[in-house]
């Protein structure tokens, strides 16, 4: 009977993968992947998603990892447990609320227009707590004897942390971070209110930009069935990026554990 539950849960997954691949594959062509939206392509969306992944990693990963280092290495106090609690809350923040906040502060307040930077900040807000938690947990798995050995050699705590402890936990941190990036790369709600969407390639940091999830969302809600069908082609590219990142990271992580 419990096996039945597993089967019921896996049916949607298989159906989604099947539909995306079978309906999306016919769209794949060089033009589809490289032209802008006015010439029947999704080039701007692919470019936008890659830019967002890059910018978000640039902002979110260092902040997340340093937060995690603090929590794991100096986190034996009330301030740290408070930060940990806040991080837990942020992990479950409704994504559309992140969108509203970033819209009000960055799009309206700081930059004055829709912007790839606003999108990256919104996604960073979702990325930071996940990366901080993974880093925190990975560092805690490093045995204390490693730290003690290094300190006993007279190496400073900060050097011990950065050169000995963090490298020892590297695989866990990298795996968790890449999984988090794969997850936020598919997010739609936070970027809907911050980069708006566009038919054109990247036009600077003060203009709207497109991204794959936004394109799927727009196409799917179009009244024209031909445009709706095209959404499957976009979805295929999106799912290829997200799932291949996800699967590759997991396989790599498992390979390392076995050795």
Residue 187 touches other proteins, criterion: CB under 8 A: yes
Residue 79 touches other proteins, criterion: CB under 8 A: yes
Which C-beta is closer to other proteins: that of 48 or that of 99?
99
CA distance 18 to 22: 6
Among 39, 206, 221, 256, binds other proteins (CB under 8 A): 221
Instruction: At 206, list the tokens.
Output: 């003060």
Among 50, 186, 201, 252, binds other proteins (CB under 8 A): 186
Cα–Cα distances in Å, from 37 out to 75, 113, 115, 191? 49, 21, 19, 18
- In the numeric block, the tokens 């609320």 are attached to 97
Residue 222 touches other proteins, criterion: CB under 8 A: no
Residue 96 touches other proteins, criterion: CB under 8 A: yes
Residue 253 touches other proteins, criterion: CB under 8 A: no
To the nearest 10 degrees (0 to 180), the angle between helices 95-102 and 116-140 is 130
Which C-beta is closer to other proteins: that of 202 or that of 217?
217
- Whether 73 contacts 139, CB under 8 Å: yes
Residue 135 touches other proteins, criterion: CB under 8 A: no
Among 123, 132, 139, 173, binds other proteins (CB under 8 A): 132
Closest separation between CB of residue 111 and other proteins, Å? 15
**CA-CA-CA-CA dihedral for 150, 152, 156, 160, to nearest 10:** 10
| Site map (CB under 8 A) of other proteins, residues 8-47, x = contact | xxx-xx-xx--xx---------------------------
Label residue 187 left, alpha or beta by phi (over 0 means left) and psi (-120 to 50 means alpha). Answer: beta
Give, as ranges, the residues between 48 and 67 that touch other proteins (CB under 8 A): 62-63, 66-67
Show the CA angle centred on residue 246, arms to residues 236 and 184, nearest 5°: 75
What residues does 209 pair with on adjacent strands? 196
Closest separation between CB of residue 185 and other proteins, Å? 8
What residues does 196 pair with on adjacent strands? 209
Among 128, 142, 169, 195, binds other proteins (CB under 8 A): 128
Residue 244 touches other proteins, criterion: CB under 8 A: no
Residue 81 touches other proteins, criterion: CB under 8 A: no
HEC readout, 95-134: HHHHHHHHHHHHHHHHHCCCCHHHHHHHHHHHHHHHHHHH
Closest separation between CB of residue 116 and other proteins, Å? 17
Give, as ranges, the residues between 99 and 118 that touch other proteins (CB under 8 A): 99-101, 103-105
């Amino acid at each position: 009977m419990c096996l039945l539950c597993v089967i019921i849960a896996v049916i949607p997954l298989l159906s989604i993968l099947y539909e995306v691949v079978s309906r999306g594959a016919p769209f794949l062509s060089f033009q589809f992947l490289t032209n802008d939206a006015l010439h029947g392509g999704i080039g701007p969306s692919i470019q936008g998603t890659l830019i967002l992944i890059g910018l978000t990693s640039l902002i979110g990963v260092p902040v997340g990892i340093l937060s995690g280092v603090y929590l794991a290495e100096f986190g034996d106090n009330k301030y740290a447990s408070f930060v940990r609690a806040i991080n837990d809350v942020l992990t479950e923040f409704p994504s559309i609320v992140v969108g509203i906040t970033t819209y009000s502060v960055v799009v309206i307040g700081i930059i004055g227009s829709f912007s790839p930077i606003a999108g990256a900040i919104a996604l960073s807000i979702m990325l930071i707590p996940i990366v901080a938690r993974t880093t925190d947990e990975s560092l805690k798995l490093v045995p204390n004897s490693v730290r003690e050995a290094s300190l006993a050699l007279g190496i400073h705590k900060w050097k011990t942390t950065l050169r000995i402890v963090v490298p020892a936990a590297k695989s866990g941190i990298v795996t968790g971070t890449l999984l988090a990036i794969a997850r936020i790369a598919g997010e739609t709600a936070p970027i809907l209110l911050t980069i708006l969407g566009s038919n054109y390639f990247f036009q600077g940091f003060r203009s709207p930009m497109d991204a794959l999830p936004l394109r799927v969302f727009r196409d799917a809600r179009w009244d024209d069935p031909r445009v709706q069908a095209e959404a499957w082609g976009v979805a295929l590219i999106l799912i290829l990026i997200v799932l291949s990142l996800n699967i590759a990271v997991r396989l790599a992580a498992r390979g390392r554990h076995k050795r």
